[in-house]
Structure 1
Amino acid sequence: MAWLITKLSTLFSMKDLGPLSYFLGVEATYVGHNLHLTQSKYALDLLERTKFKDAKPISTPVSTGQKLSAYVGEPYKHPEQYRSVVGALQYLTITRPNLSYAVNQVCQFMHSPKDTHWMAVKRILRYLKATYDHGLVYKPGDMQLHAFSDADYAGNPDTRHSTRGFCIYLGSNLVSWSSKKQKTVSRSSTEAEYRQLAYTAAKLSWFRSLFKDLHLHLLLPHIWCDNVSSIALASNPVFHSRTKHLEVDYHYVREKVVRKQLLIHFICSQDQLADLFTKGLSSSRFKLLVSKLPVVSRPVSLLGAVRPSPSYKNPAHV
């Protein structure tokens, strides 16, 4: 690292500011060998700005099975406020992957928000009130990439596009995640799941290329999927004649499996971590999956003897 800094200083004007503690709203805290990343101050400022610092907290950011529609509800009277708050929530997903699905849902109506969409935003803010100091924790571990891939078939009530989600771990550390609407309509749950499988495989390939450039060897990556048909399709060429519309995705994943550059495994839906990025869940299941990301509260010892209230102005510097 010292060599890298020396090389960079020959090309750029640089200054050593010491160990990282706060950067662009992200707070970095070290506890032993563990690194905690949070956005507590940013979250508190958002709650203050939206007058939600005294709101009643709630246990999940989205209600079970919630599906927002562009045609339900009356036009929201303050669309500029909606766009501003949703944009701020989007930035919070840097350290809060558990907000990804809820924020993705409300982001789809920036052009013409309804009052029902604002109600969904308010629920996210109430959840944020309860978990403003939560964030990701990173710890030393092995160099094994493994991913969880899932899709909610035809989940969009307006267009019937599926919602896709994945999360990628390096060892026990979450390094990449996503919750998005698929670009095209899928004709079956297998097609929706397989398209997401191909997308997740591409992300894993990118990670392997990145680490190869850094001269770091990664073990063979694994993908965990809860759709039996998709797994069979990746390893059984007999299915090919029935899935010509999936030809590009088919060949991409199939080639990775044949070349032994990727392993795909079945996982039951109950243990599918990517569920968190594709649909609204019950409180108990949501909390279980969040704990496995892991998104946790910053250690109490770092906050002093008294835990700050949401009106606390500067929890960033430790």
Structure 2
Amino acid sequence: MVQHFIQQMQSEFEMSLIGELTYFLGLLVKQMKDTIFMSQGKYVKNIVKKFGMDNGGHKRTPAVTHLKLTNDESGISVDQSMYRSMIGSLLYLTASSENSELMGYCDAGWAGSADDRKRTSGGCSFLGNNLASWFNKKQNCVSLPTAKAEYIAAGTCCSQLVWMKQMLKEYNVEQDVLTLYCDNLSAINISKNPIQ
């Protein structure tokens, strides 16, 4: 039966048999008597080496948490293709999760921009355990109460989740419930009020 399948495939496609599968699309495949073991360890080592981080030390938090960033007019531009390649490699690495639940997290910071003291909104969306999108930007409007700033951040994140839900629907991946996590009780109460 296997030989018949091989002959059919070779008659339709140009192919050759090079033996047992061991490595495919970043997955190391080890076939045993009763199981197949797959690992992305080799892929991880390759991307760490590719981006020059193989001699780097390990940090629990890669940046200080209390630092306020400001505009650096004389700074060196970031290589966008290198940055996108890094992010793409990491997204491919984490795209092997079975869970496909869509959820988001949002937050707002008080006067987060040190240059003009505007509030900043931030959020991220996960598809299962995988980070699918994220944002961090200054809010367009000035809002004094914290609840309003948090509500604006939640609205932005919610819009992103609804858009992602629609995109997934086009790929026949249905999302029954969208979960959005917000750490401000007043913003949560505003969102529950149908009059607002």
- Would you say 1:232 and 2:181 are equivalent positions? no
Partner of 2:64: 63
Specify the code of the residue in structure 2 equivalent to 1:65: H
- 8 Å CA contact retained: 2:111, 2:120: yes
Unpaired runs of 5+ residues, structure 2, are 1-13, 16-20, 30-36
Partner of 1:210: 167
- Would you say 1:177 and 2:134 are equivalent positions? yes
The counterpart of 2:144, out of the listed 184, 187, 211, is 187
Deviations 1:217-269 (A, max 9, x none): 2221111110111111111246x4xxxxxxxxxxxxxxxxxxxxxxxxxxxxx
Q: Which residues in structure 2 correspond to 1:129-168 (within 5 Å)?
A: 136-168=93-125
- Would you say 1:92 and 2:86 are equivalent positions? yes
- 8 Å CA contact retained: 1:143, 1:170: yes
Specify the code of the residue in structure 2 equivalent to 1:234: S
- Counterpart Cα distance in 1 of 2:62 and 2:50: 18
Specify the code of the residue in structure 2 equivalent to 1:66: L
Partner of 2:155: 198
- 8 Å CA contact retained: 1:162, 1:182: yes
- 8 Å CA contact retained: 2:109, 2:119: yes
Partner of 1:245: none
Partner of 1:83: 77
Specify the code of the residue in structure 1 equivalent to 2:113: N
Q: Which residues in structure 2 correspond to 1:18-29 (within 5 Å)?
A: 21=25, 28-29=26-27
Deviations 1:269-290 (A, max 9, x none): xxxxxxxxxxxxxxxxxxxxxx
- Counterpart Cα distance in 2 of 1:180 and 1:234: 21
SS at match of 1:69: coil
Using the size of structure 1 for normalisation, the TM-score is 0.43
- 8 Å CA contact retained: 1:163, 1:182: yes
SS at match of 1:83: coil
Q: 1:227 to 1:34 in 2, by over 3 A?
A: farther
Residue 95 of structure 1, CA deviation: 4.9
- Counterpart Cα distance in 1 of 2:129 and 2:97: 8
SS at match of 2:106: strand
Specify the code of the residue in structure 2 equivalent to 1:60: T
- Counterpart Cα distance in 2 of 1:147 and 1:166: 7
- 8 Å CA contact retained: 1:153, 1:188: no
- Counterpart Cα distance in 1 of 2:71 and 2:112: 14
- Counterpart Cα distance in 2 of 1:58 and 1:142: 28
Using the size of structure 2 for normalisation, the TM-score is 0.65
- Counterpart Cα distance in 2 of 1:214 and 1:90: 24
Residue 137 of structure 1, CA deviation: 2.5
Residue 159 of structure 1, CA deviation: 1.2
- RMSD over aligned Cα atoms: 3.7
Q: More helix per residue: 1 or 2?
A: 1
Paired residues, number: 167
- Counterpart Cα distance in 2 of 1:95 and 1:192: 34
Unpaired runs of 5+ residues, structure 1, are 1-14, 22-27, 48-52, 98-134, 241-318
- Would you say 1:43 and 2:44 are equivalent positions? no
Q: 1:162 to 1:20 in 2, by over 3 A?
A: farther
Question: Which shifted more, 176-185 or 35-44?
Answer: 35-44
